[in-house]
Structure 1
């Protein structure tokens, strides 16, 4: 059974144990998350100029919209302020900055009514991040930038937490993806031909769980949760921020969610930066994850 904890009072060690058991956490906006959202809004406003970013899709050719995102998203990812505000946010949430590592924060978009669902604004099919070579102790953080509704968030499919799904992760190698597929995202406008791990059998999307945080609200869930992008019917483009964390002790000791169906190779651990000083995770730690999951 998956439980959604709303603004609970517990330390980070306890929270991680619950996350590795398939539970979800939702928190209200905090000073740190609001600062991160305000930073993102400033970059978005600069990119869209006089257009309202939530409705700009109705005033721009899809190719132009995709090209704008192809410049905006890397700017947010690599901006030093983005990383600094993640560090502050993690401190607010009681994370040990010497043992918590995060990957770069990403700016995500989900356009309405199938305007752009490929490439740079990919609408994710049901998947686990662990099909994409994520460690099983990965925790996902998700923050909406503007108001969201049930019709433009994400869905969790909790019946599959302990139930495997036949999927394409056996063909996925993280290093090959980075070499040949990640950089081509903006080229996929009308369809996305990249081979990404997907279910290879029918799955039941219901019952499902949808969480609708306020702007700046923070949702945490395991990277092993089966989740998907809800088909956006809201009439507005959804903008959100996500990033992932791992705790070094959990990485080393293999305290993690259960692997019920992942067969990918490689590891994303080398992408993670220590919150205290942005040092990358030790090579020896990553090497231990080189074998097939």
Structure 2
């Protein structure tokens, strides 16, 4: 399959969703709200690292100290009320219909260089689809770099697998069980990560691949069904990025989304999503329908 990358597209949001569900990728220049989010995130990071340069601090800190710092910083970012105001603003700037658009909490991600810390609180993701982790097939992923990024510390997409199944461990993954037993232990996994996470169970061809390098505050959009991975960071600098996910509630209701080619997990992440306009919860009847396992991706 060929994947096209649309840059600063002016097409309507409904058409964009359809193309995203078909495996295309979109990238946008920084918006006023995304710049504000990046500036705020840099303030939190600077406060956490004191006088250290956060991109190079890994070279001067014990890995356990670095992990402990992130274990405090990341929840402060995730739960800060300012994020709940800025994310809907970014979505609206890029054409989303606020009344229909639901989002989950933003996450501050780190990718340290040269395998300094690649598990637990700074997990380096193997090739995966978010749909292996109980995400709905209408999920759109949003990714925003906080500082300058380079091809050696971003994400890689593996578009040849968008419509091609990969044997994987998603059948052993249940989102409810993950929340009960594994999510809160991330900071303990410093040297290795023993938590059960869906991963390929056959060799995956990592080439050809697509790497997109947005400016700080630039916004990358892709389907949660897209196979993607963390590029092994050889840049010498820790990469900081923000990601969150959105769904259009009418697409959720009407079962519109990317095809399910290989996911067999149980549970659903839909209860993590709130409405852009007023932070109302996802309708429980929709979460229950997806949790029952009766629904799959688009045919």
How would you bin the TM-score normalised by the shorter chain? over 0.9
Match of 1:255 in 2: 256
Match of 2:65 in 1: 64
1:99 aligns with 2:106: no
Deviation (angstroms), 1:291: 2.5
1:209 aligns with 2:210: yes
Other structure's SS at 1:209 match: coil
Deviation (angstroms), 1:147: 0.2
CA deviation digits over 1:80-121, x for unaligned, max 9?
001110011111011111110000000000000000000000
Counterparts of 1:35 and 1:13, CA distance in 2: 26
Counterparts of 1:183 and 1:30, CA distance in 2: 33
TM-score (norm 1): 0.99
1:232 aligns with 2:233: yes
Q: CA RMSD of the aligned region, Å?
A: 0.6
The count of residues paired between Structure 1 and Structure 2 equals: 293
Counterparts of 1:39 and 1:16, CA distance in 2: 29
Match of 2:6 in 1: 5
Counterparts of 1:87 and 1:157, CA distance in 2: 29
1:48 aligns with 2:49: yes
Match of 1:143 in 2: 144
Q: Which 4+ residue blocks in structure 1 deviate beyond 3 angstroms?
A: none
Counterparts of 2:187 and 2:253, CA distance in 1: 36
CA deviation digits over 1:190-247, x for unaligned, max 9?
0000010000001100000000000000000000000000000000000000000000
Counterparts of 2:291 and 2:140, CA distance in 1: 20
Deviation (angstroms), 1:11: 1.1
Structure 1 residues without counterparts, runs of 5 or longer? none
Of residues 30-39 and 227-236 in structure 1, the stretch that sits farther from structure 2 once superposed is 30-39
Structure 2 residues without counterparts, runs of 5 or longer? none
Deviation (angstroms), 1:284: 0.5
TM-score (norm 2): 0.97
